[in-house]
Amino acid sequence: MQFNRLFFAVLVINLGWAPVAVAQVINPPAGRIAVVADGNSPDPDDLGGTAVSLALLQSAGLADRLVHYSHSCDIVKSNRISAEAEKERHEMMALTCIGTARRWGGFEHINFLDVKWELDKAITDLAQAINASSADDPLWIVEAGEPDLIGFALDASLQEKHQFVKVITHHPANDQTGDFYEWEKILTYDIEEVRIPDQNLLLKVDEEHWDWAKNHPDDRIQWIWLMGKMAEIDNIVKFQKGKWDCSDAGMIYYWITGANVNGGEIQSAVYGIKKMLLEFVEK
């Protein structure tokens, strides 16, 4: 079943068409959600990923269940990016967060935190979300960047609450790039690892697959496209050229559609995201 669904999705994205009707269910598991993204590291994909993630949560009517959103979680600067370029990334990630939140609405309760520049605040904020967890109200942490903040927050939170924490991850590049915590260390905290396939497969696509957003009359949809385009024209890395990438948003889509409790979509594609966003703006 999983192979057939993945094979069908690959056909969809490669042939450039979408089915007439997409089976799409908003059926999230119990609990709240937190997102830890990077974006200040050499890969700029979190620009589009953050915009899509926030828009999906609002489109699904779940913005109020977001309790933490932080970005720029690569605490130790990589030698693959200059100090000037990294500072620009911090500003662009902040712009992506507040610009998407303002246009789409629903996030007035969230303080978007820059992990590297506001490390203590970010640790405290995520630790408080962990401490508020229970069996009936677990915390789902989306690991869209290095695991260091998650490790710091687990250290700063109540040990008895860790059993109610679930960390969604999709790519070993996030797991293994921490400067202070290895992924194996995160797993020792009695959290639940929720691992799904690499979302780059169907969400890092040729730019033309997002022409529908570029040419859409609604400025909320245009804004989403623009954030992904900023990553495409970024001049630090070459592997984003010609690509529109919101791969980390696949973990949000997975949670919205059920995660590992209610049979969430483990390999989301552009057509599913498109349907959810357009249904919201067309209401």
What pLDDT does residue 283 have?
87
Residue 138 has pLDDT above 50, yes or no: yes
Tell me the per-residue pLDDT of 74-84, one tens digit each, with 9 for 90 and over. Answer: 999 989 899 99
Predicted structure pTM score: 0.92
Nearest to 25 by CA among 271, 204, 255: 255
Tell me what pLDDT residue 246 has. 98
Asked if pLDDT for residue 2 goes beyond 90, the answer is: no
Contact, 196 vs 268, CB < 8 A?
A: no
* pLDDT for the residue numbered 25: 87
**Each residue's pLDDT tens digit, 14-35:** 433 343 344 568 999 999 999 9
The string of pLDDT tens digits covering residues 143-201 is 999 999 999 999 999 999 999 999 999 988 888 889 999 999 999 999 999 999 999 99
User: pLDDT above 90 covers what percent of the chain?
Assistant: 87
Among all chains, which residue has been given the structure tokens 């995160």? 186
Output the CA torsion 45→50→56→59 (10° steps).
-140
Q: Is the pLDDT of residue 5 over 70?
A: no
Domain boundaries along the sequence of the chain: 28-281
Residue 254 carries which side chain, given as an amino acid letter?
Y
Structural contact between residues 224 and 100, judged by C-beta atoms closer than 8 angstroms: yes
Alpha carbons 4 and 174: distance in angstroms, whole number: 27
Specify the amino acid at residue 86. E
DSSP string, the chain: -HHHHHHHHHHHHHHT---SS------PPSSEEEEEE--SSS--THHHHHHHHHHHHHHTT-GGGEEEEEE----SPPTTS-HHHHHHHHHHHHHHHHHHHHHH---TT---EETTTSHHHHHHHHHHHHHT--SSS-EEEEEES-SHHHHHHHHHS-GGGGGGEEEEE--HHHHT--SS--HHHHHTTSPEEEE---THHHHEEEGGGGHHHHT-SSHHHHHHHHHHHHHHT-SS-STTTTEEE-TTHHHHHHHHTTTTTTT--SS--HHHHHHHHHHHHT-
Q: How high is the mean pLDDT of the chain?
A: 92
Check residue 171 and give its pLDDT. Answer: 86
Instruction: Kindly tell me if the per-residue pLDDT of 217 is higher than 70.
Output: yes
Q: What is the pLDDT of residue 175?
A: 83
| Second-level CATH architecture of 28-281 | Alpha-Beta Complex (3.90)
* pLDDT given for residue 92 in this prediction: 97
Evaluate whether 47 touches 228 at the Cβ level (below 8 Å): yes
Give the pLDDT of residue 177. 84
Q: What is the structure's pLDDT at 23?
A: 52
State residue 4's pLDDT score: 41
**Token pair for 136:** 């009936």
pLDDT band of 109, cuts 50, 70, 90 = very high
Taking alpha carbons only, the member of 6, 53, 42 closest to residue 168 is 53
Do residues 144 and 169 touch, judged by C-beta distance below 8 A? Answer: no
**Most confident stretch, 9-13, 41-45, 141-145:** 141-145
